Amino acid sequence: MTVQPEQISRDGSVPVSAPAIEVTNLVKAFYDTSGDRITLAAADVNFTVRRGEFVCIVGPSGCGKTTVLRIVAGLEQATDGQVKIGSAASPAMVFQEASVLPWLTVAQNVAFPLKLKGVPANEQRARVSELLALTGLTDFADARPHQLSGGMKQRVSVARALVDNRDILLMDEPFGALDEQTRLVLQQELLRIWERTGKTVIFITHSVDEALTLADRVLVMSPRPGTIVADLAVPFERPRDVVELRRDKRFWDLTYEVWRLLAVSPEH
């Protein structure tokens, strides 16, 4: 089974209501030849994401949430099940660790997908400076990655994922390695960018706080083998203020609810 982005969209016959991402009965297992053992990473994962929706997936470490995202991105093959992408372009990805290419400057990193596609240099420049402005990196255009803080590097990753304007953005714990304060700042900026660009987003995190701050819906995964155990709507109005949100009683009620789900998830 493979992800086939063109399947339903290139011919223009997609109903407007068609989901942006539809994952059905997804199974991922690994076979370890040396120990002759099979490890089940994700078992029967089902979910859909509507166009323009911001969905967070939370789950304990090792529950297979990153694996699911990588399958949706087309970076890994599923063992069984289906992933349907309702978009002409394959999803863009923002990775967990520092994925900024060290031999390129900030501007060159952001331009990377455009360069691969052979976009003319002047168009590249215009688009890149637009994204540098959007992500607050204009002053760092010519900096090298090793001169940047962790937060700045993740801004570069976000800018690079947005630069070729794909509809779907997959984010794999992009702020996981950052300190709490930087994280809040970047969450606020991500919300601002998302509101402006209207992307469909799947955002993986193990932080319940982060999920509730960002998402329209939170999917809760069980420990390995991961499966979706709850699908919670997050009712906060937009635009959101990541700090003010914490004064809302519903924020804490939801936090409690998600934690309860994570805590009672059956161990396999």
117 near other proteins, rule: CB under 8 A:
yes
Are 259 and 208 contacting, i.e. CB atoms less than 8 angstroms apart?
yes
Site for other proteins in 67-86 (CB under 8 A): 73-75
145 near other proteins, rule: CB under 8 A:
yes
- Residue number with CB closer to other proteins (97 or 257): 97
Q: Strand 54-58 vs strand 200-205: parallel, antiparallel, or unpaired?
A: parallel
Which one of 27-35, 99-107, 197-205, 226-234 is the stretch in contact with other proteins (CB under 8 A)?
A: 99-107
The residue to which tokens 């519903």 are assigned: 250
Residue 224, CA atoms < 13 Å, CB-side half-sphere: 13
Which residues, 6 or more positions from 186, have their beta carbon under 8 angstroms from its beta carbon? Answer: 151, 154, 155, 174, 175, 178
116 near other proteins, rule: CB under 8 A:
yes
> 76 to each of 2, 29, 102, how far by Cα in Å?
9, 11, 25
248 near other proteins, rule: CB under 8 A:
no
Q: How far apart are CA 22 and CA 31, in angstroms?
A: 26
Of 79, 90, 124, 135, the one binding other proteins (CB under 8 A) is 90
- Residue number with CB closer to other proteins (103 or 181): 103
Residues near other proteins (CB under 8 A):
73-75, 90, 92-93, 95, 97-99, 101-104, 112-113, 115-117, 144-146, 160, 164
